[in-house]
Structure 1
Amino acid sequence: MPIKIPNNLPAVHTLEQENIFTMDEDRAYAQDIRPLRILLLNLMPTKIVTETQLLRLLGNSPLQVEFDFMYTATYEPKNTPQEHLVKFYETFDAVKNRKYDGMIITGAPVEQIPFEEVAYWEELCAIMDWSRKNVYSTLHICWGAQAALYHYYGIPKYPLKQKMFGVFAHTVNIKEKMLFRGFDDVFYVPHSRHTEVRREDIEKVPDLTILSESEAAGIYAVIDKKRRHFFITGHSEYDPLTLKAEYDRDISQGLSVQVPVNYYPEDDPTQTPVVRWRSAANLLFTNWLNYYVYQGTPFDLNKLNDEGELNGLFGDGI
């Protein structure tokens, strides 16, 4: 089944070349079913790249998904053409009176800045508070996860002595649960960050459960008690060459950066990177969309509330 995206979005051409089924607005409106409504708050500087990465993964679901794109009004993006923002993106003021089945808040290259000093911090807090009443399930990625854990629960981030950079092995702490259904015992996830959240801080919060972690990279996936908010510290959505692009950029700027771990054969950056995370990434996003959005959200989105009382299809599972 397709993902429904705006007519003429640049990602369409790339996705069609990869045989991922997309459907433009005109064709989707002719169908007599309700698509899932997903809001993407894109905080990444290269927004078109991030759109394509996430749409690629969510396009593998048998569900029809309708996307809206949002950026912060309090910070003007410098790496995305203004005409693209005007054509495809909206600000919070434009979407705040709508309700959504799901929402994704991306990472952002601001992790070394204190939360309160980020230019759009107050706006982001308002968006996160709004999402608790107007979005059924929210997926927070990398810095977006750190920001949400700090805003909701006061969990701090800590600077790392060395950038967490590469592809790391992970395990599932709670097996046979829906977010990681179908995962191998060991699976791989890319990470690219200078800060971390720590197990001991999360374990102090009764409303949070650690679902997955890595011996080398630390906490990976956390879920809240109501099973409506997910905090993912890695970048499962990354393309095969994303870490390479980051590494080449840093080297060209004269920065001291290590070769991404477990990424190049024999850690040789002249060789082609090996993709180890694609299947796990597809499962992660498909499982979230299916089990935590589609099977829980009400047909009438106006019935959404902030108490999580509409998730009866979940039973006692996580």
Structure 2
Amino acid sequence: MSLAERAARVAAIARAATSDADAAAQVMAALKSDGGDAVEAGLTALLQLSDDRERDDWTLAGAFAQISALAGEVLGVARAGVWLFAADHAAIECADMFESATRTHSRGAMLERKDFPIYFDALEAVRVLAADDANEDPRTREFSAIYFKEHGVAATLDAPVRRRGGFAGLICCEHVGRPRPWRDDEKMFVAALADAVTISLETAERRAAEQDLKHQLALVEAQQTAIARLSSPVLEVWDGVLAVPLIGGFNAERRSAVMEALLDAVSRQRARHVLLDLTGVDAIDTATADALIKLVHAVRLLGTHCIVSGITPEVAQALVGLGVDLSDLQTTRTLKTALELCMRRR
């Protein structure tokens, strides 16, 4: 029965039903009586494969194994495999082959395209290549003497895997025994499997791109942190005295990097004095002023004396204009003066 005939039959059954529930039940019964229940279950399993692609443990090899096993089980064939072309399209390699009898998987077999030109040209031109009698079909009989007869293959159902408008690979299903007329729903199913291979390849590429992007972002972040530390280095200018010259802009990343580096150095070197020098800061805004206050308080919590140097008239005016209370800070105009104060306190 053709796909059109089956569709007409299902529509007639649905129209004659007395309720929606009755229609659903009768339609399902009709599909099963036509042998479509296995294919329907296969399509449901394909939907599950789509959900699996969002799992963290998803792999391309695992997806290929699921697709080939699904083809073997649903179509009831001896072997089903996923094959992919090499970059130059001169050869095709088996990415996964499922053996139904042993329920095992293998991979790695190679076929040269030049050895089977009629088959590959025919497959590239169709959506599905259904060979009911593979040994006699002119599109597939190139394999008869060297493979089909040796393995008892009587019929094949193949579908090309297309990607970016090109021929990227194929799904191959091998039936052994006697010739087999392939049903329309089986042809549609193997085409859906080929589409699943395409989607799996695209998923793998997307995931690889995402991982590469994450790596690049992490690298940029690490570089920015390193630059921030280099632009505000923690220098030991005397025994027990650390100086931090703040240079350029003082954004959130730099503020965090300076805080981390300074507190680590104070703790590690047991510094008694810290000099925060603002001479090289481009501008003082509310965020910078707030970060400065927090930095001074954090250093003091570690029991270390802190002096803020580089307070020029412009910087002082800016801080006052922002409402920053300087009464709690020990400040000097130059780094030299701050260092002299530290020496006196020794």
TM-score interval, smaller chain: under 0.3
Instruction: Return the TM-score normalized by structure 2.
Output: 0.17
More helix by share: 2
Q: Larger C-alpha radius of gyration, 1 or 2? A: 2
